[in-house]
Amino acid sequence: MYITSCTYLGRGPVWDFSVPRYHNYLIDGVANHNSGKSLSTFVEDARALTGTDPFGKYPKEGGNLVVIGRNWPHIGLVAYPMLFKAGAFRIIKDLETGEWRAFRPVQDADRRAETKPAPPLVPPRLVEDVSWVLKNAGYCQRVVLTNGWTVNFFSSEGEPPQGFQADLVHIDEDISNPSWVGEMQARLADRKGRLVWSAMPHSKNDALLGLCERADKEAEEGKENPQIKKFVLRFLDNDHIDREEKEKNIARWSALGVDELRMRAEGEFTQDSILMYPSFNTMVHTLPRSELPDGIVPPEWTRYVSIDPGHTVMACVFAAVPPDERFILVYDELYLRNANALIWGEAFAAKCEGQHFYAFIMDMHGGTLRDLGSGRLPCDLYSEQLRERNIRAQMSGFQFVPGSDDIQARTALVRQMLHIRGDGSTQLKFLENAVPELYRELRRYKKKVVQSNNGPFVTDMPNTRGEVHSCQCLEYLCAYEPQYHQPPARPGPEPWYVKWRAERLKRQGDDGKGYVCLGPTKK
């Protein structure tokens, strides 16, 4: 599950924040200084720890809760106080029942003076033992409760632990190391636990974005019991914040830019300003297979291949240009992990069987990184594979055309080709369901963000950390500016007289090697 200042993702049955009784206080509203995302999820943690979850999602005793904060100061300032100190929200005595309940700022507007801080979400009587990393700063490491539940606090700046089981994992705000998500999901498997993530929609890594994309996909498919759910909590909908304070915050965030306002007030991912190619849209740039004869690229089109060599990931992008040059169509890809030249040669030969190519384009930065073992260049090893399989390009033969080294020029060309013209067409198209890896990378290909004294600012240079191999292949391809060149005519079946002539020459003692013997022949 994931909650931003605005969004909430969950695994398993539908999460419900209906009115439960909780330590003799009626919790029917939660709030903090923004949208209420953190307190909502810490209330969920407290329900599990105290055995008061109204839907029975967690064991009553002996469970394990893992709370992950961005760093240890976040644990000391937010996570530990939310669960084990008073004042997470305010309470008021209900006039009808006489019981204490959560303060409702709309209904109880004239009774604010009667409110008081709520007791801790987890009562002190349930706490059996506390271990500290740094007690004076509130850096708590572990809390053991009398009912057998344990709470383990971790900083996301460290490496995720392994080999334990958890019933509930709560990630609060952004994390420094995205590997925590996959590892914690594995820790939940044995006990069929749940993961909750409450955060603003940051874009510092792809972990949160990946969960959000999964939740949106399952919502679109309309699954009855989705594996993951997202809930959006808007800052402007929080009644616990005065209207005047809301207006002040809106003005402050607006001064920092539209992206800051959208992220904090609306809970939206603000990637447009940091994506390398924000104009990429599958609805616009995808070419349906129905628009091609038999759903395949015609043989008379000019074909190109752009290659990014590598061992961890090796990527190829195949493109074709029609005779009228109305667009460049990316129609296939090759995405190999733990690859070498031999593996690439076999896969490439299977991909391009029966096709004629005009040029092979390669990233020569990777192609000229000499192998430490053999001392050979990757571009030479790849060329040997082409020669062994007799796969040649019309322009480059068994060799490769170097890809452009001008990063800004090649990225500018990609943006230009992705640009939507006045008639709704684009110069760059992608064949339907043909390049899933390239689509995945394009959605996450970001600009480099540089930290300065005035805060972070976005550059025009791409962030090449992570999996951006297919995107770079696309850039090399666009920088080459592919054009149409008529492929050579394909030879028909061999005439009958060719074989007849060869046999005749053989009978006459001529082996067809193209020379004449002027001396006595060997019988």
Tokens of 387: 């020669």
β-bridge partners, 197: 2, 171
Three-state DSSP class for residue 359? strand
Domain architecture of the chain: domains with CATH: 2-237 (3.40.50), 282-480 (3.30.420.280)
Residue with tokens 């080459």: 480
Q: Which of 124, 123, 115, 51 is nearest to 89 (CA)?
A: 115
Angle between helices 179-187 and 206-221 (to 10 degrees): 60
pLDDT at position 30, please? 38
- Separation CA 67–CA 197 (nearest Å): 10
CA distances, 14 to each of 200, 205, 449 (Å): 21, 27, 37
With beta carbons less than 8 A apart as the criterion, state whether 334 and 314 touch.
Answer: yes
pLDDT at position 425, please? 87
CB-CB neighbours of 438 under 10 Å: 22
Report the amino acid identity of residue 117.
P
C-alpha distance across the termini of the chain, in Å = 87
Backbone angles phi, psi at 9, to 5 degrees: -110, 140
pLDDT at position 14, please? 32
Three-state DSSP class for residue 281? coil
With beta carbons less than 8 A apart as the criterion, state whether 83 and 151 touch.
Answer: yes
Stretches where the chain sits below pLDDT 70 are 1-36, 201-206, 234-273, 366-375, 451-458, 490-495, 497-498, 509-523
- HEC profile of 401-470: EECCCCHHHHHHHHHHHHCCCCCCCCCEEEECCCCHHHHHHHHHCEEEEECCCCCCEEEEEECCCCCCHH
Give me the half-sphere count of Cα atoms (radius 13 Å) on the Cβ side of residue 485.
13
- Separation CA 40–CA 36 (nearest Å): 6
pLDDT at position 208, please? 75
What is the tens place of the pLDDT at every residue in 27-63? 333 333 444 678 888 999 999 999 999 888 999 999 9
- Separation CA 44–CA 489 (nearest Å): 70
Three-state DSSP class for residue 370? coil
pLDDT at position 349, please? 92
Q: Which residues contact 142 (CB under 8 A, 6 or more apart)?
A: 130, 131, 150, 151, 152, 153
Give me the half-sphere count of Cα atoms (radius 13 Å) on the Cβ side of residue 15.
25
Angle between helices 436-444 and 206-221 (to 10 degrees): 120
Q: Which residue pairs from 295-303 have beta carbons closer than 8 angstroms and sit at least 24 positions apart in sequence?
A: 297/329, 297/331, 297/431, 298/322, 299/355, 299/356, 299/487, 299/490, 300/486, 300/487, 301/329, 301/484, 302/358, 302/482, 302/483, 302/484, 302/485, 302/486, 302/487, 303/355, 303/356, 303/357, 303/358
State the pairing for strand pair 2-3/127-134: unpaired
Could you tell me the pTM of the whole model? Answer: 0.60
pLDDT at position 10, please? 43
In sign, the C-alpha dihedral spanning 10, 11, 16, 17 is negative
pLDDT at position 367, please? 53
Q: Please, is 248 exposed, middle or buried when counting C-beta atoms within 10 Å of its C-beta (0-12, 13-18, 19+)? A: exposed
